[in-house]
Amino acid sequence: MQAKVVWHTGMRFVGVGPSGHGVVLDASPDVGGEDTGPRPTELLLLALGGCTGMDVVSILSKMRTPPRKLEVLVSAERAPEHPKAVRRVHITYRAEGVPEENLRKAAQLSQERYCSVAHSLSAELSFSVEALP
C-alpha cells in the first residue's frame, strides 16, 4: 500500500491513496496554514473512527441487526511535549435500532480482530526514511 502527499502552498498538502481519492491537509493560521483542511492528527482519529465504524456496521448487519444510525466518537489524549504523540484513545459508539449487547459485541470484535487502523496504532512499527533531491 502506498500514499502520496504533495505540498501545495503554505502548510497545505494534498494526499492521494491507492483508491485515487484525495484529501487536503492544512495547519492553522498561527503556524502558517490557511485552515483549509484537517490536521494530520485529526485524520488519524478520523481513520480510526471510519475503520471501526465500517467494521461495526458490517458485523451488525451480519447479526441481522443493521443500525438505523451509527456515530463513532474518537477522543484522544496527547503528550504535552513535542512531538505531542497520541497517548490514549477512547472510542464511543452510539447506535439506533441495535440491541445494546450486539453493539457492544460488534465494537469488541472490531477492536480485537478486524480494525487494521486500531491494530496499526497499537503495534510496534518500524520506519525507514529516504530523502531524494
Burial label for 25, CB within 10 Å (0-12, 13-18, 19+), is: buried
Which residue type occupies 52? Answer: T
Taken in order of first residue, the domains within the chain and their CATH numbers are: 1-37 (2.20.25), 39-125 (3.30.300.20)
Q: What confidence tens digit (pLDDT) does each residue in 14-35 have?
A: 999 999 999 999 999 999 999 9
Residue keyed to cell 492553522: 28
Q: Averaged over 86-109, what is the pLDDT?
A: 98
Contacts of 94 (CB under 8 A, 6+ apart): 69, 70, 71, 72, 73
Contacts of 53 (CB under 8 A, 6+ apart): 70, 72
Contacts of 76 (CB under 8 A, 6+ apart): 41, 45, 86, 88, 89, 90
**SS3 state at 71:** strand
Residues 11 and 26: beta-carbon distance below 8 Å = yes
Contacts of 82 (CB under 8 A, 6+ apart): none
Provide the pLDDT for residue 108.
Answer: 98
Residues above pLDDT 90, as percent of the chain: 99
Residues above pLDDT 70, as percent of the chain: 100
What value, to the nearest 5°, has the Cα angle with vertex 127 and ends 123 and 130? Answer: 165
Residue 50 in grid coordinates:
471510519
Query: Which residue(s) pair with 90 in the sheet?
Result: 75
